[in-house]
Amino acid sequence: MTLLIIVLVVLAVVAVWVMLAYNGLIRLRNRTKEAWSDIDVQLKRRYNLIPNLVSAVKGYAAHEKKVFNDVTNARANALKAEEAGDVKETAEAEKGLAGALKTLFAVAENYPDLKANQNFLDLQRQLTDTEDKIQAARRFYNGNVRDFNTKQEVFPTNLIASMLGFKKADFFEIGSEEEKETPKVEFEAEEKVEVEEERE
């Protein structure tokens, strides 16, 4: 009788532990999904800003067709990857889009009237704000991915994770440090440098 009670107690403890481990994994997986949805919202906001930005630059540099096509295609690729929900594909597409936007802003530098255009400056501010939010959301998402993946690797939770089919989540990595930078042109900073150079 005593042996039966001990066995039942052990089974109850194991069952409670399995339940807690499973619930912990589900909680972390849901946090990771929620964190990705934050990135998703900001990416969509940026994708919506890009056509307006292209239109603003086109008004001053209509002959830069290749640049506009590159930005449009990069945006379409990024939107397609993001809609598919694949983190790695989205990160890869984002690298291409960041490069295309840098080229667009480089073109804008050649047009002083465009750099002074209020609509363009407003779009640039919105884009910079969105980029900052994407970076914050990316850090939050990657933190959740780290916790979720670690939970699946530590013993004995790894036994439950493998038995119940949990899979590791992908980090949202943009790429090199240069590619992680916000694609923006700081006109005011450049003007200050020029003023300082003239004073010297």
Q: For the segment 18-37, what is each residue's pLDDT rounded down to a tens digit?
A: 899 999 999 999 999 999 99
Nearest-angstrom CA–CA distance, 126 and 137? 16
The verdict on domain 12-199 having CATH code 1.10.645.10 is no
Select from 25, 35, 34 the least CA-distant residue to 162. Answer: 25
Q: Please state, rounded to an integer, the average pLDDT across all residues of the chain.
A: 85
Which has more pLDDT, 178 or 1?
Answer: 1
| pLDDT score of 194 more than 60 | no
The model's pTM: 0.76
18-38 in b/e form (b: 16+ CB < 10 A) is: beebbeebeebbebbeebbeb
Provide the percentage of residues in the chain whose pLDDT is more than 70. 87
d(CA 31, CA 29): 5
Q: Which residue has the tokens 């890869």?
A: 92
Q: What is the pLDDT of residues 92-126, one digit of tens each?
A: 999 999 999 999 999 988 888 888 888 899 999 99
How far is the C-alpha of 126 from the C-alpha of 45, rounded, in Å? 9
DSSP conformational letter for 168? P
Whether 75 contacts 97, CB under 8 Å: yes
